[in-house]
Chain A
Amino acid sequence: MMVSHNYLTSSIGKKQIMAITGLGLVGFTVSHLIGNFLLFLGPDAFNTYAHTLTSNPLIYLAEVGLGSMFLLHLVLAAITQLQNRAARPIGYLAKKSTGRGETFASKTMAYTGLILLAFVIIHLINFKFGSVYESTIEGETVRDLYKTVIEYFSNPLYVVWYCFAMVALGIHTSHGFQSTLQTWGLRHPKYTPMIEIIGMLYAIFVTVGFSACAIYCYLQN
């Protein structure tokens, strides 16, 4: 019952690890969005949530797990991209889609992925390692993350960039979600169309959800 040494270097092995890490990130994104919805309930609800989350010692374990998933996804994407480029050294003069296969989302996975990488870096700098204000909730001093959020989203350009990145996220996951299941061998004439719809609904949900939070925060100023 041992994973053979060449599983990770095989094309399918790499894709399956990429798929499973992608699915993990999809799950994280949903929980993050639900947390963000507390912004609508005001500073106390949001700050209490953020405080409860970050004061739990298990957060470090979660961060390491999340970070490694992200890095693994990224490194494997880079490796497969380079291999794919090497597999076709001379391109076509007149390549045309059949219109029955590749989609805008599937063709732009690398680009939307790079946008998301830039987004995550900026996001962490701004919010995780950004300005720390303090507020008091029921006698306890907590970080006023709400204030930081409102501050950043007072800039309309920041809101535009944020929404743009969320559209990229939606496009990326609209292909990624169904691709993940295919890579793990889950394909069925009855369920695959349903899986594609769920992937699309998920993509719309995260894009609209995160963007709504950003626009709401902008309107608070």
Chain B
Amino acid sequence: MSGKEKIITVHLKLWRQKNRSTKGFFEEHTLEGVSTGSSFLEMLDQLNEKLIREDKAPFAFDHDCREGICGMCSLMINGQAHGPERATTTCQLHMRSFSDQDTIVIEPWRSSAFPVLKDCMVDRTSFDKVIAAGGFTSVNVGNAQDANALPISKENADLAMDAAACIGCGACVASCPNASAMLFTSAKISQLALLPQGKVEAHKRASKMVEAMDELGFGNCSNHAECEASCPKDINLSNIARTNREFFKAKIFSEKE
């Protein structure tokens, strides 16, 4: 720990909701003795220990790997998805981003496609459904091919990898003024559309995934770019442009009615 570490007090305004069907409300807590060296989730752990000691229900929030790769943590922190830092998940956010006596408002992702399960935990099954709608990729079976048989340019490999960096956390939906899931869906479409293995069904996949996205009740993209700005993995808007192209081609050149 660095010598610059300080101990601060924060005032928390948390969204509490018992379950899917009950109405939620904001609850205020003051938490003392928070180290600026602790992560945001460690601060919430500290709060929960305090709540448990006081015989109160702990605050429910999603988290898992706590190293920014699993996509489980969420939280709208002072109106920004994953907090104020760029390209950072909530678990990578540290209390040094806040000052003593700050009020921190913590809300769940707000989208009709992400119902609240409890407090700030939301059900992101909708994203799994979008992925499932994408279907399969055609793979040659039999002996392993020669590694050089499928030429893939470095540029495309990089773009596909960048798109595949999406951890499916839902920050794009949460921060979008329209609650649109275009950045997520487009990243999942792009990571396959850019590579030869995924090219075979690229159009069909774009069509099916966009269809699923629309049916799940996400909003319409109007190119605000808040998604890109809030994305902890810096997923680029060019993925959305690619999806728009793929979708149009899929619809226009479809042989089926």
Contact = CB atoms under 8 A, between A and B. Distances in A.
Q: Give the one of A86, A91, A93, A183 with max B CB within 10 A.
A: A93
Contacts of B79: 92-96
A128 interface: no
A10 interface: yes
A175 to B, nearest CB: 8
Contacts of A3: 251-252
A63 interface: no
Interface string B128-148: 000000000000000000000
B110 A11 contact: no
Interface string B171-195: 0000101111010000000000000
A107 B177 contact: yes
B105 A102 contact: no
B203 to A, nearest CB: 11
A87 B178 contact: yes
Nearest to A180: B223
Interface string A1-28: 1111111011111111000000000000
A7 B179 contact: no
Given A12-B248, A185-B242, A86 B226 contact: no
A144 to B, nearest CB: 43
A96 B244 contact: no
B237 A84 contact: no
Given A87-B179, A93-B26, A93-B107, A107 B224 contact: yes
Interface residues of A, number: 50
Contact of A87 (B113, B240, B256): B113
A187 B182 CA distance: 15
Interface string B1-41: 00000000000010000000000001000000000000000
Contacts of B180: 11, 84, 87
Interface residues of B, number: 54
Given A1-B253, A87-B180, A185-B242, A102 B111 contact: no
Given A11-B180, A109-B222, A186 B230 contact: no
Interface in B227-257: 227-230, 237-238, 240-245, 247-248, 251-254, 256-257
A179 interface: yes
B24 to A, nearest CB: 8
Contacts of A9: 214
A140 B219 CA distance: 56
Interface string A117-129: 0000000000000
A189 B230 CA distance: 19
B229 A87 contact: no
B221 A11 contact: yes
A128 to B, nearest CB: 31
Nearest to A77: B222
Given A4-B254, A96-B79, A101 B222 contact: no
B179 A185 contact: no
B177 A183 contact: no
B211 interface: yes
B179 A88 contact: yes
Contacts of A6: 211, 251
A87 B210 contact: no
B213 interface: yes
B114 to A, nearest CB: 10
B221 A15 contact: yes
A80 interface: yes
A182 B150 CA distance: 31
A102 to B, nearest CB: 4
A102 B248 contact: no
B26 A12 contact: no
Q: Give the one of A2, A5, A92 with max B CB within 10 A.
A: A92
Interface of A: 1-7, 9-16, 80, 83-84, 86-103, 106-107, 109, 175, 178-179, 182-189
Interface of B: 13, 26, 76, 78-80, 86, 105, 107, 110-113, 175, 177-180, 182, 207, 210-211, 213-214, 217-230, 237-238, 240-245, 247-248, 251-254, 256-257
**Which 3 pairs, one residue from A and one from B, show the smallest C-beta to C-beta distance?**
A185-B245, A96-B79, A87-B219
